Amino acid sequence: MKKLFVLFFAVVSLICCNNNSETPAISTPATDSSANASVADSLLQKGCYIYEGNSNTISFEITGVGAEITGKLNYSLQEKDGNTGTFKGVLTGDTLFGNYTFLSEGVESVRELAFLVKDKQLIEGVGERNASGTTFKDRHAIRFSSDMPLKKTDCNMTKADCIYKNGKAFSNLNRKCLELATLETKLQPMEEGSMTNSDIAYVLFDSTQSKAELFLPNHNEGLILKKTSEGNWRSGDYKLIAWKGYVVQFKNKAIFGGE
């Protein structure tokens, strides 16, 4: 009887040792990209998110919503160089994180951005960044207290109707389609200092005249020029000068003029 008890104990011990030697499997749920896309689509829709005020304009056109969020992002801030670029990121909960790739003074740069999605608005986050200023040091410390919230507007349908040949153009200052004939400042084309009978250009100013938007012939969107310390408005090779009305120069050559 004693031998049987010892044998039984040995068998039980062997079974227990074998069970303890096995590493429990850790189940890691697979990432369901379709589920992530569905969540993103219910919270964030395609379209334009715009902020305008105090001579500042930020426009974020969401072009793709799914496992990856894509879009076009433009900054036109007072007393700063304008930036135009693309955005690629992901939606984590109610926060959109991603990389903004843009051109600044002819150099391509990449900067991490974060937006809180709330009440059909995008609220940009601020926080401490690394030495180069390209990424956040701690995402958990980002503060979403911006006083420039981007409100959702449907810009795709608006732009589709803005065709210069139909007498319309899209205003990047007002973020809407304009009837060009309603603009007060109309400039005639110039050739060697004299007027010609070609298509005319139009100019629109913001409320503080710190920005001017130039509508060129056969262009469906306006070009924003910023006021310089000289009192003129400029964007790249284009310059608007207040002289006997207004004169538009391209590479220092007068191309349009009028009142």
Q: What is the DSSP string of 94-116?
A: TEEEEEEEEEETTEEEEEEEEEE
pLDDT 10s digit of each residue in the chain, 259 long?
Answer: 444 444 444 444 444 444 443 333 322 233 444 445 555 557 898 888 988 777 677 889 899 999 999 999 988 777 677 777 899 999 999 999 999 998 766 678 999 999 999 988 999 999 999 999 999 999 999 999 888 999 988 665 556 668 888 888 988 887 778 889 999 999 999 876 666 777 899 999 988 888 999 999 988 889 999 999 888 999 989 999 998 889 999 999 999 998 7
134 residue type, one letter: T
Which residues face 253 on adjacent strands?
250
Nearest to 125 by CA among 149, 109, 102, 105: 149
DSSP structure class, residue 172: T
pLDDT in tens, 167-184: 889 888 877 788 899 999
> Does 2.40.128 match the CATH number of domain 33-153?
yes
Backbone angles phi, psi at 15, to 5 degrees: -65, -45
CATH 2.40.128 positions along the chain are: 33-153
SS3 label, residue 80 = coil
DSSP structure class, residue 165: G
Within 8 A by CB and 6+ apart from 142, the residues are 114, 125, 126, 127, 136
- Residue 178 is predicted with a pLDDT of 86
Backbone angles phi, psi at 36, to 5 degrees: -60, -40
Pairing of the two strands 56-64 and 47-53: antiparallel
